Structure 1
Amino acid sequence: MADQPIIKLHDGNMMPQFGLGVWQASIEDARKAAVKALDVGYRSIDTAAIYKNEEAIGQALQETDVPRDDIFITTKLWNEDQLNSQQAMETSLKKLQLEQVDLYLMHWPCPEKDNFVEAWKGMIELQKQGLTKSIGVCNFQQAHLKRLIDETGVVPVVNQIELHPMLQQRELHAWNAMHQIQTESWSPLAQGGKGVFDQEIIKNLAKKYGKTPAQIVIRWHLDSGLVVIPKSVTPARIEENFKVFDFRLEKPEISEIAKLDKGQRLGPDPDEFN
């Protein structure tokens, strides 16, 4: 098994740079995908309360031979539970059959409701109780992050955002980096490569390296310093996505992929999603 890159978060905890996403996967599919991924060599799994498949990850953790300490588990606080993070966390832990997760993320800021600073204070408390090792956010813009930091003094370790070659969010990525916040990409393949895999540059690189377009895009995330969690429930695809540690893109190739950025969102706008 090739050595996977590990990222050191600003709170001192370590996070694999590569993992499995299970958004929109049924309980049975998510369980099988997680078991397969751990078998292949994945050491990070990303779920969420709203995915309704946390118990699948709990089952997979019981089934696998990989020790719990070697696996990085992320789950997320859903919007409706922002003022009830304690109970939400306890529910998630029960489903995951765990006493602690590695990373707990606030799923959306929901700026109109304006509960995210309160929710963050609740998450700080959960970390103090040892229910999660690290805390972070998803889909936060600079203004939301700035408020969290200004009002609590606690900087999220991760900001998980929609990020793929058609939506590179370079300004936000740079702002995160400046504040030691690790950027993590969701929908890294633009939902099955929509409009990405058929780009000339991606096709040419796939040919050059003897890789699939998906593998080229995953490698682009890794070489850009992003944490990446491609979602798949197909065993062959789960394996294929993992075979990205035996090559690297060159700087000019990364610059070419940068030109694909169209600011094109596939998911909701964090400033408007409530």
Structure 2
Amino acid sequence: MSMTSANLDYEQAGELKIGQVGIANLRVRTLDVAQLSREMRERVDRAPKLFGRAPVIIDFGGLAQMPDVATAKALLEGLRGAGVLPVGLSYGTRETEQLAEQLGLPLLAKFRAQYEPVGAAASAAPPARRESAEAAPAKAEKAPAANTTSPGLVQKTPVRSGQQLYAENRDLTVLSTVGAGAEVISDGSIHIYGTLRGRALAGAQGNTDARIFCREFHAELVAIAGHYKVLEDVPKELRGKPVQVWLEKDQLMIAAQ
């Protein structure tokens, strides 16, 4: 049977692109489904615009033993009931891969890297990080040079709501504003010469020396190497001020400049 070119339709019904996505990573330290669900509900209640129906990756790498399927399913349901959406497991071992298949979830390798020290064996269990503590006002030291491998990325125009900007293996400089609902991510430090109303995530691949600087602070969320704070956790006297954000002994620090 012959077919003319006029009858052929080569247009794809859907266009697939792979991009950098800022997704929360839940590091399970104690396999207590009720407590984990309660803690997540508290986060959602504290910052519903940020965490409500937010995608979450689950990382079992900090446990001595992988949970069974029934317990893992109970955790998924508990987290959904708390208001977030588990979308995958963080890569760990062959057991993690098997569990992901049994749960019908994808395995996302990149979410494990920020927990591993440089040179760690692939089979080693990544060490757990503590959650960020309350920021204490402190005199900021001179920012150390970021561990970057290429010149920084400079964004001259505003980053608007719904947009995401990622500076891979380099610093990010925004010469304008970062609007509410926008997200800027950098493997190095982030410099914002305007108002920060959205989210800023520095040291995305685990660089604990990364810092965040902005001229006017109203951020929905700031994070360095996975340690984060939402606006509700930041002292009110820092809002609207020029601030610097950095890590000090695994505590996220925020201070006026």
TM-score by length of 2: 0.37
User: Whose Rg is larger?
Assistant: 2
Higher relative contact order (CA 8 A, sep 6+): 1
By percentage of residues, which structure has more helix? 1
By percentage of residues, which structure has more strand? 2
